[in-house]
């Protein structure tokens, strides 16, 4: 059952449509992420859930109750922003205890609950320190503990880790997932960081210009992007302009770069028109390279190409191939061979192969 129902919610600021008729059902216990570029409306949507901004139209229901017009303090949820917003004159333990004191819990119950949370966020030994005596990462852990201590129905998090360095952020990712699982509190998390979204979420809504481009599980968002925007926004992706040459019930023959033809598997193939133009999206790590044409052409599409350049990343090397007609193809090749790395040098001829299910045809109506 959905704990949070966002129904046809719209918001304009000064004539700009910032959130455009968005509907989302979020399930109880989910780690749900709103992902999108700067200015796409993530924070505005989150602030409407929190009650800090009123929608122009639409409805928001929490646990079946219409909260659209409920003031923020009456909503059984908490919000964490990038800044820590701890009470500077209170110790770590008192900061965490604050919501329970406000709710008039008994002192013994408060102590037990606070100690449990302190253990969960690994801050027991810092309980008597003040916020200025702990690090940024520790402050954010206190803020998270304080937001979970009274077990809200919902925790809203707006880029809560963006002030932390990359290493600490990764550590906090694992802690957040653990805390979310342990407490069972439903999280709605906002980020513009695709890696963060993929690593943390049960489901992701990818937002662009105030609308949802795709809502799916992380692995589907990554491997089966539905639009040009989603394919491009998440990770590296080749997007080749492609023409439909022929279709069968489950395959499409495409032509890219004016001359290269291949067939792919696609359950939606019967809905395409011959001559239709779209995009073929193909992740660089789905391609295989070889100096000789040793690939099994009955099962793979094989293209003869030329190396345009490469970038060594340590564990992988990213090659750029030239398909002609101003079309480039990126290939990520792993470097885990025991006999060291052998590079394909610039201008050498090369064969590149991929599986009929490796990529996706995106029809232009979705681009
Ligand atoms: N109170 C406001 N008054 C006017 N315009 C606003 C207001 N709040 C947000 N906006 C505008 O609405 C758009 C969406 O803003 P929002 O803060 O929701 O984006 P975001 O997706 O959270 O971006 P970021 O990743 O940069 O935080 C932006 O163009 C922003 O300038
Ligand atoms: Mg924002």
Tens digits of residue pLDDT in 249-302 = 999 999 998 789 999 999 999 999 999 999 999 999 999 999 999 998 888 999
Helix axes 107-120, 92-102, angle to 10 degrees: 130
Region 45-51 average pLDDT = 97
Give me the pLDDT at residue 203, please: 98
Residue of 352, 225, 221, 336 lying closest to 284 (CA atoms): 352
Give me the pLDDT at residue 50, please: 96
pLDDT > 70? residue 366 = no
User: Is 79 a pocket residue for ligand 1 (Cβ < 6 Å)?
Assistant: no
User: Is 330 a pocket residue for ligand 1 (Cβ < 6 Å)?
Assistant: no
Give me the pLDDT at residue 338, please: 65
**236-366 CATH fold:** OB fold (Dihydrolipoamide Acetyltransferase, E2P) (2.40.50)
Ligand nearest to the CA of 158: 2
For residues 145 and 120, the answer to whether their CB atoms sit within 8 Å is: yes
Tens digits of residue pLDDT in 56-82 = 999 999 999 999 999 999 999 999 987
For the domain spanning 2-231, the CATH number is: 3.40.50.300
Q: List the chain domain ranges.
A: 2-231, 236-366
For residues 245 and 274, the answer to whether their CB atoms sit within 8 Å is: yes
Give me the pLDDT at residue 364, please: 75
Region 7-32 average pLDDT = 97
Indicate if the alpha-carbon torsion angle 212, 252, 284, 202 is positive or negative.
Answer: positive
Task: Report the nearest-CA residue for atom 4 of ligand 1.
Answer: 13
Could you tell me the distance, in angstroms and rounded to a whole number, from the CA of residue 201 to the centre of ligand 1? 23
User: Is 13 a pocket residue for ligand 1 (Cβ < 6 Å)?
Assistant: yes
Count of beta carbons in the 10 Å neighbourhood of residue 96: 29
CA 143 vs CA 53, 138, 181, 356: distances in Å: 22, 9, 18, 48
Task: Report the nearest-CA residue for atom 13 of ligand 1.
Answer: 39
pLDDT > 70? residue 27 = yes
User: Phi/psi at 212 (nearest 5 deg)?
Assistant: -90, 120
Give me the pLDDT at residue 339, please: 67
Question: Where is 57: in which H helix or E strand?
Answer: strand 57-62
Quickly state the pLDDT bin for 365 (edges 50, 70, 90). Answer: low
Ligand nearest to the CA of 39: 1
The Cα 186–Cα 62 span in angstroms is 11
pLDDT > 90 fraction of the chain, expressed in percent and rounded: 79
Task: Report the nearest-CA residue for atom 28 of ligand 1.
Answer: 39
Indicate if the alpha-carbon torsion angle 355, 360, 363, 367 is positive or negative.
Answer: negative
Burial of 103 (0-12, 13-18, 19+ CB in 10 A): exposed
Q: How wide is the angle at C-alpha 61 spanned by C-alphas 158 and 41, nearest 5°?
A: 35
User: Is 39 a pocket residue for ligand 1 (Cβ < 6 Å)?
Assistant: yes
Could you tell me the distance, in angstroms and rounded to a whole number, from the CA of residue 2 to the centre of ligand 1? 27
Could you tell me the distance, in angstroms and rounded to a whole number, from the CA of residue 24 to the centre of ligand 1? 20
Half-sphere CA count of 77, side-chain side, radius 13 A: 26
Average pLDDT of the chain is 92
Give me the pLDDT at residue 166, please: 86
User: Is 180 a pocket residue for ligand 1 (Cβ < 6 Å)?
Assistant: no
Indicate if the alpha-carbon torsion angle 147, 203, 235, 241 is positive or negative.
Answer: negative
Tens digits of residue pLDDT in 86-134 = 999 999 999 999 999 998 999 999 999 999 999 888 899 999 999 999 9
Give me the pLDDT at residue 228, please: 94
User: Is 191 a pocket residue for ligand 1 (Cβ < 6 Å)?
Assistant: no
User: Could you identify the atom of ligand 1 that is nearest to the CA of residue 46?
Assistant: 18
- pTM of structure: 0.91
Tens digits of residue pLDDT in 325-364 = 889 999 999 987 766 667 888 888 999 999 999 999 998 7
Give me the pLDDT at residue 367, please: 45
User: Is 43 a pocket residue for ligand 1 (Cβ < 6 Å)?
Assistant: yes
Ligand nearest to the CA of 45: 1
Half-sphere CA count of 8, side-chain side, radius 13 A: 2
């Amino acid at each position: 059952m959905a704990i949070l129902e966002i129904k046809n919610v719209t918001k304009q600021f000064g004539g700009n449509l910032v959130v455009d008729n968005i509907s989302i059902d979020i399930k109880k216990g989910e780690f749900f992420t709103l992902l999108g570029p700067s200015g796409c409306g993530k924070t505005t949507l989150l602030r409407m859930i929190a009650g800090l901004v009123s929608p122009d139209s639409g409805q928001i229901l929490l646990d079946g109750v219409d909260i659209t017009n409920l003031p923020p303090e009456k909503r059984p949820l908490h919000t964490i922003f990038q800044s820590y917003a701890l009470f500077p004159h209170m110790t770590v333990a008192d900061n965490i205890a604050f919501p329970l004191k406000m709710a008039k819990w008994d002192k013994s119950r408060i102590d037990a609950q606070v100690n449990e949370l302190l253990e969960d966020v690994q801050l027991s030994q810092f309980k008597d320190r003040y916020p200025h005596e702990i690090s940024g990462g520790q402050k954010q852990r206190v803020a998270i503990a304080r937001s979970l201590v009274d077990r809200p129905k919902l925790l809203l998090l707006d880029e809560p880790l963006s002030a932390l360095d990359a290493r600490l952020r990764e550590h906090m990712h694992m802690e957040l997932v653990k805390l979310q699982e342990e407490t069972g509190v439903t999280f709605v998390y906002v980020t513009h960081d695709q890696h963060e979204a993929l690593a943390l979420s049960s489901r992701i809504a990818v937002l662009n210009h105030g609308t949802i481009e795709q809502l799916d599980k992380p692995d589907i968002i990554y491997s089966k992007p539905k639009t040009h925007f989603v394919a491009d926004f998440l990770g590296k992706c080749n997007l080749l302009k492609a023409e439909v040459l022929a279709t069968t019930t489950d395959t499409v023959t495409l032509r890219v770069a004016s001359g290269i033809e291949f067939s792919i598997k696609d359950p939606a193939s019967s809905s395409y028109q011959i001559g239709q133009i779209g995009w073929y999206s193909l992740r660089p790590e789905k391609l295989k390279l070889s100096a000789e044409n040793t690939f099994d052409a009955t099962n793979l599409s094989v293209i003869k190409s030329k190396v345009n350049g490469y970038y060594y990343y340590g564990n992988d090397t990213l090659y750029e191939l030239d398909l002609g007609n101003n079309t480039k193809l990126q290939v990520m090749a792993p470097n885990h061979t025991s006999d060291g790395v052998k590079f394909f040098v610039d201008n050498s001829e090369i064969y590149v192969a991929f599986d009929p299910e490796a990529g996706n045809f995106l029809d232009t109506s979705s681009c």
